[in-house]
A and B are shown apart, each in its own frame.
Chain A
Amino acid sequence: MATTAVESERPLRWWGTRRGQHRLVGYGFLIPDGVLLLIFVALPIIGAFYISFHDWSGIGTREWVGTQNYETLIRDSRFLDSLRITIIYTATFVPLLFAASLALAMLVNSGIKATGLWRTAFFAPFMVSLVVASVIWGFMLQNPAGVVNAIIGLFGIDPQPWLGSTRLALISVILVGLWQGIGYSMIIFLAGLQDIPRVYYEAARIDGAGAWRQFRNVTFPLLRRTSVFVLIISFISALQMFDEVFVLTQGGPAGATTTAVFYIYETAFRFLQLGYASALAIALFAIILIFSLIQLKVFSGEPED
C-alpha cells in the first residue's frame, strides 16, 4: 500500500469523486491529532534516544558522548538499587492488587446485601489522586501520633516509624498504592464476573462442584482475558511508580524508596543530567518491554478461553 500523500488519476475535480472525498476527509481528519502526536509523542521518542547519547544539562551545549551514558548506568549502583526497589515494589504490589481486587469483586458480586454501598466504598479511593492519597496517608502514618499507630496500639503494638524506617517505608508506599488502585481493578473484574453466563455455574453445581471447584474451573478460566489485562496494566504502572514516593518519602529514608522513575526524575530535574537521565529512561523502557513480552508469551502459551 502506498503511503504517499493524496494522488489521483483524474486531476480535474478529483476531490469531487468518492475516492477523492475519502482521501481529503480521511487525511484531513487525521491532521489535528496527527500533528500533536508527531510533535509531542513521536518527536520526544526519537529525542529520547538522541539525547541519551549526549552529555547535556539542559542549558548550554550538548556534547556527544557515544554510549558512555549506557556504560555508566550498568555500573551505577544507585540506579541498580532503584531497579531492585522497583522490582520489589512491583513483585509485592501486583499480586496483592490482583488477589485483593478479585476477592473484592467476588464479594460485591456474591449477592450480599447493600452491594452499592460496598462497591462505592471500595471504589471511592480511586477518585482520589495519588497525591492526595499520599497526603492523607502521610498524615495517618505520623509517628507517634498518627491514627494508624493508635489503631495498632489497641492490639498492644508499639508505635512504628512508618515512613522513617528503611524497613517500613516501602511497605507504607505499597499500602497507599493498593488503597488507591484496588477499586479500579475491582470494577474491571466485576464487569468480567457479570459477563460469565449463570448456566455455567448451574451446570457445575449439577456435576457436584463445590464453591472452590466452581472458582477454579469456571470463574478463573473465564476471567482469563480480564486477568491478563489487569496484570499487564498494573505491572506497567507499578514499574513507573512515582507520585507516592515523591509526596511521602522523597525516595528516603536512605534511598529505601527510590524507585527507578524517582531516580530518573532526580537525575534529570534536580541534578540536571538530562542526557544520562534519558539513557536511564530508555534502559527502564527496555526492562518494561522485556517484562511485557514475557508476560504476553506466558499468557498466550496457555489455551484460549
Chain B
Amino acid sequence: MSLKTERDAAAVREQIRPRRRRKFTARTAGSRLALYLLAVFAFFFFAGPLLWMLSSALKSQPEVLARPPVLVPETFHWDNFVQVFEQVAFGRWMINSAFVATTVTLVSLLFHSMAAYSLARLDYPGRNLIFIAILSTLMIPFTVILIPLFIVVDFIGWVDTYWGLIVPMIPHAFGIFLLRQFYLGLPRELEEAAIVDGASLVKVYTRIVLPLSRPIMAALGIFFFLANWNRFLWPLIITHDRDLYVVQVGMQQFSGERGTQYQLIMAASTIAVLPILVLFFVLQRRLIEGIKLTGLKG
C-alpha cells in the first residue's frame, strides 16, 4: 500500500469512479499478490526462527548443524528436553523466574493502584508536586541508576537474595501514571454514592475502585509479568549464586558452556519461551489491549 507506484495509484483512481463497496486497499490483482508475497516473506522472517528453534530442539547432535540443513529431524529427540533439566538446574531457574515475575507483578499492581487512587481522587497538600516528582523519574534511564542501585542493594545486604531480585523492580512510575489516568476516567458517582452511604475511603477503594480496575489490572499485569520474566541486566548483576539464577541469566550461561550442543541450547530456549507463548495464546486479546493502553495513552 505504502509502496504503490504511480501506475497502481492511477489504476486505483480509475476504479474509484464506480464506487466500490469493499475495502479500498489492495485493489488490483497485482498489488494483492504483492501483499500476500510480502506477508509470506515477513512470516518466514518472524516465525521462521521460532520454528527453527523448535525443530532444532528435537534434532540429534549430528543433525543440528548438518549441511545442508535438516528441516525436520529424522526422529524426534524429546530426550533433549529431559537432558536440559538434568544437566543444569533449569527447573530451579524456571521456578525462580516464575516466582520473581509473579511477585513483582502482584505487589506492583497493588502498590501502584493504591498510589494511583491517592493521586487521582484524594485531596491533600502537595499532591500535584508529588505526582510531578514521580513522573520525573521516568526520564531517568535504568542504566544511570544501575550502579548506585546495586550499591544500595548491596548495602542493605540483598545481593544474592530473592529480595534483591524482587523489591527494587517494584517501583515503576509508568505503572502509577497509567493507573492514575485510568482512575481519572472513572465516573465519580459510584464512589460519591458510597461515601454518602457512610463508607470510608479505604472501603471505597477496596469495594469499588479495585473491582472496577480489573480490566486495566489484567492488561498491565500481563505486561509486568512479561517484562519481568524477560528481564536480564538486573538479575545478571545482582545474582552470582547459581541457585538464584533466573531463566534468562541461566540460559545465557548455559549456552556459553554448551557451545557445541546446540540441540540442548535450543531445547532450553524453547522451554524458556514456552510459558510466555502459552500465556500469549491464551491472553492474546488482553495483551494487545494492554499494549494499546500502555502504548497509546502514554
* Interface set of A (CB-CB < 8 Å, partner B): 1-4, 6-7, 19, 21-23, 25-30, 32-34, 36-37, 39-48, 50-51, 58, 102-104, 106-107, 110-112, 117-118, 120-125, 127-133, 135-140, 142, 144-147, 150, 179, 182-184, 187-188, 191-192, 201, 205-206, 208, 210-215, 225-226, 229, 233, 236, 239-240, 242-243, 246-247, 261, 264-265, 268-269, 274, 277-278, 281-282, 284-285, 288-289, 292
Contact = CB atoms under 8 A, between A and B. Distances in A.
A128 B42 contact: no
A125 B130 contact: no
B288 A187 contact: yes
Nearest to B45: A179
Interface string B142-171: 111111110111100000000000011011
Contacts of A261: 143
B65 A47 contact: no
Contacts of A233: 295, 298
Contacts of A39: 152
A264 B148 CA distance: 13
Given A37-B171, A236-B141, 15 more contacts: A25-B201, A33-B111, A36-B170, A58-B151, A111-B25, A118-B43, A129-B229, A136-B49, A139-B265, A139-B266, A187-B295, A188-B296, A233-B298, A281-B143, A289-B139
B217 interface: no
Contacts of A205: 16, 19, 24
B148 A43 contact: yes
A112 B130 contact: no
B296 A191 contact: yes
B46 to A, nearest CB: 5
A69 to B, nearest CB: 12
Given A37-B134, A45-B137, A243-B233, A229 B149 contact: no
Given A26-B127, A184-B291, A226-B296, A128 B50 contact: yes
B269 A22 contact: no
A192 B291 CA distance: 12
A124 B148 CA distance: 35
Contact of A214 (B24, B124, B262, B273): B24
Given A102-B2, A130-B232, A150 B69 contact: yes
Contacts of B23: 110-111
| The 10 A-B residue pairs with the shortest CB-CB distance in the complex, in nearest-first order | A47-B148, A210-B9, A129-B230, A26-B122, A44-B145, A111-B23, A44-B148, A29-B118, A3-B126, A191-B292
Contacts of A102: 2
A25 B232 CA distance: 36
A215 B4 CA distance: 10
Contact of A210 (B12, B49, B230, B236): B12
Given A107-B39, A124-B46, A135-B252, A22 B273 contact: no
A130 B226 CA distance: 12
Contacts of B266: 136, 139
Given A129-B232, A139-B262, A211-B25, A32 B114 contact: yes
A142 B277 CA distance: 26
Contact of B26 (A48, A111, A264): A111
Contact of A26 (B53, B66, B118, B248): B118
B52 A211 contact: no
A48 B146 CA distance: 9
B111 A110 contact: no
Contact of A127 (B25, B45, B112, B280): B280
Given A37-B134, A269-B237, A278-B148, A22 B232 contact: no
Nearest to B140: A45
Given A30-B118, A42-B137, A140-B52, A37 B9 contact: no
B75 interface: no
Given A33-B115, A135-B251, A51 B147 contact: yes
B130 A30 contact: yes
B87 interface: no
Contact of A33 (B114, B140, B153, B251): B114
A1 B47 contact: no
A32 B125 CA distance: 19
A130 B230 contact: yes
B143 A131 contact: no
A268 B126 CA distance: 38
A89 B232 CA distance: 20
B280 to A, nearest CB: 5
B39 A127 contact: no
Contact of A282 (B19, B47, B144): B144
B134 A132 contact: no
Given A191-B292, A211-B8, A240-B141, A124 B151 contact: no
28 contacts: A1-B126, A3-B125, A3-B129, A19-B123, A23-B125, A33-B170, A40-B153, A41-B140, A45-B145, A47-B148, A103-B38, A120-B284, A122-B46, A128-B230, A128-B276, A133-B49, A135-B269, A136-B53, A142-B65, A142-B262, A145-B66, A150-B68, A201-B24, A210-B13, A246-B236, A247-B252, A285-B140, A285-B144
Given A22-B124, A188-B291, A268 B144 contact: no
Contacts of A48: 144-145, 147-148
B88 interface: no
Interface string B9-31: 11011001001001111110000
Contact of B16 (A28, A106, A208, A269): A208
